[in-house]
Amino acid sequence: MDSETDPNRFWISGVINSTSTPFLPNGDIDFSSFDIYIDFLVRSQVDNIFVNGTTGEGMALTIDERKLAAVGWINAARGKIKKVILHVGAANLRSSIELAKHAEAIGADAIACMCPTFYKPKTEENLINYLSQVAAAAPSTPFFYYSIPRMTHVHLDEVKVMQLAMLKIPTLHGMKDCTDCLTKSLVCAHLDRRKLQVVIETPGDMLPSLSIGIPCLAIPAYMAPIYNRMKNALEAGDSETAQRDQLMAVNLELLLVNIPKYRKRTTDSDWRMEISKKDTGPWHLTATGEIGVRRDPMLSNELLLRPDLGKRRMRSYTVPSHWIYGLEYPQGCGTVSQALRGWDLPTDFISTPLKPQTVSVRNYIALNKDCVQRGIVTAPEQRSFRQLYDIRNTITKGHAGRFEKMEFPIETTFGMPVRPSTPIQEVIGNKFGTMWVQEKKDEFARRTQREAHKQNRQSAVYKTRANMLAQYQQPTKEPELWKLPRFTKCAQPHLETFRSEAKKNQAMAKQELDKIPRLGTTQQGIYTAAYH
C-alpha cells in the first residue's frame, strides 16, 4: 500500500505554508487575526501550516508566547487545515523539551526542531544527541528535523544526520530541507521511501522536485495555485503546461525579489486588507533588524525605515535659522594678548543675550523646484532667445553654408523620456528569453562570418625551420639494384658494438631522422656553425 493512502501512516500531502505571526502595535500577538489568516490560506489552496518557524519569528518570542501562538493556530486551523506542524527548536535543550511536551499535549500533528544557533553542534553525533532528547519528550508525535543553514550557520552533512537519526529517533518521519540542494534532498528521501518524507521550500524547484519524487513543498500562499495547477498538468502528461507554470513561478519570484514593495504586499498584506482597514500593528518584529523595548520607536525612526520605491530619502534636518556652531564672542575679543593673559572675557560677553532661535523648514526638494520655476531659464525660453539673438542670423549668404541653423518642431519636448513600467506580460510570457536566444543566434552567425572571412584573407605561411621539420617525411627504403654475388661486400667489422640487430636498425633510423637538423638549411651543419 502506498504511504499516502495508508490510513495508519502519517504522511503530509499538499502545500505547506510557513505562517507569519501577526502582532499588535505594542508588540503583543494579535490572536484575533488567526481565523482571518487561516481563511485566506484555505482560499489560496494551502493544505498544511508550519507554525513558529523562521517566517513566524518563533525564535524572537518567549516560551509562553510560543505556547499561546501554538494553541491559537491549532484552534483556528481545526477542520480547515490538514496538518499543523509546530516548530519547537530553541536556544537551549530544556526549552525545546518543554515546547515538545506542550505540542503533544495540545494535539499537534507533528513537531520540528532545528539545531541550537548560539552554542552550535560541531559534529553530526552531537546534533543527533540533542534532537533525540527533544523527540523523546513527545514519544507519540511525528518528528521532523528542520535544517536551515543560512539562519543557524551550522553546515553539517544532512545525509549523515538522517542516517544517524533513523537509528536513534524512533518517531523520525522526515526533514524540512532549506539547503536549496536537490541532490541531498533526493538522497535523504530515498533512505526510507515508506517512512521518511522530505519537504523543500524553493519555488524554483517545484517542477524538478515533483519529477524526483518529492511532492511536498513549503511555499508562499500565492504560489499554491500555480503549484497545484502544475502538479495536475504533470500527472495528466501535459509537460508543456507544467513547464510554463514553473517558468511563471520563477519569473514571479524574481520580480518580487527585485521590487521589495511588491514582495511585501504579496507576502504580508493580502490577507490583512480584510481586517476592516484597522491598524493591526507591525507585521514583522524582525523586519527592521531589532527586537525588544524599541519596537515602537523603530517604526517611526527615519534612519531605520527604507524609502518607498522611486522616492528619495530626506538628506537634511531642521536647525534654527540663527544657528551658530561654537561660542559667540564680540568683535575684538580673543586676541593674542588676551590669550596670553588667560582669556579675560568682558562681562558684557557673558550676559549678551543670544538671538531668538526660530526653526525654519529646510525642504531642499521643494526649494529646488521653486528655483527651477523662478530663476532657471527653461529650454523653450532659451530657444526663443537664440532665434532672436543668435549670431548665425547675421552671417552673410556667402558663408551661410558653413553654419547651418538647427530647426526644432514647435511640439518638441525637451528632457529625458520617462522610464516605462515593468512589462509584466512580457516577463510572464518569457518574451525576454526568446529575444535573448535570438540575439545569441545572430551574434554567433556574425562571429562565424567574421572567422570565415578572416581565414580567406590569410596569406601563405612563412617557411621557417620549424615548419620545414614539421613537413619533413622520412624517406622510404628503395629496393637495391641487382648485384652479382661475386661483387658483394661480405666483409664483417672487426668489432661489433651493437647488442642486437634491432638496436642497430634503431640507431641507424635515428641517425637518418637527425640528418636534416645536423646539416641545416645552409648544408653546413647547425652544431658547428655557432663557433665560426
| Residues labelled catalytic | 146, 176
Say if residues 40 and 20 touch (Cβ distance below 8 Å).
no
Say if residues 281 and 26 touch (Cβ distance below 8 Å).
yes
Sequence-ordered list of residues with C-beta below 8 angstroms from that of 510, at least 6 positions apart, any chain: none
Burial of 383 (0-12, 13-18, 19+ CB in 10 A): middle
C-alpha radius of gyration, the chain, whole number? 42
For 158, 222, 259, the CA distances from 226, given in Å and listed in that order, are 29, 8, 20
Q: Which ranges of 401-500 would DSSP assign to H, the alpha helix?
A: 424-428, 431-457, 465-471
Pairing between strand 217-218 and 15-18? parallel
How many C-beta atoms surround the C-beta of residue 154 within 10 A? Answer: 16
SS (H, E, C) 57-79: CHHHCCHHHHHHHHHHHHHHHCC
Render the burial of 467-489: b for 16+ CB within 10 Å, e for the rest: eeeeeeeeeeeeeeeeeeeeeee
CA 104, CA 86: separation in Å to the nearest integer? 10
Q: Is 384 left (phi over 0), alpha (psi -120 to 50) or beta?
A: alpha
Say if residues 35 and 42 touch (Cβ distance below 8 Å).
no
Question: ∠ CA 210-211-212 to the nearest 5 degrees?
Answer: 95
Would you call 113 helix, strand, or coil by DSSP? strand
How many C-beta atoms surround the C-beta of residue 52 within 10 A? Answer: 28
CA 213, CA 170: separation in Å to the nearest integer? 24
Q: Which ranges of 265-333 would DSSP assign to H, the alpha helix?
A: 295-298
CA 441, CA 433: separation in Å to the nearest integer? 12
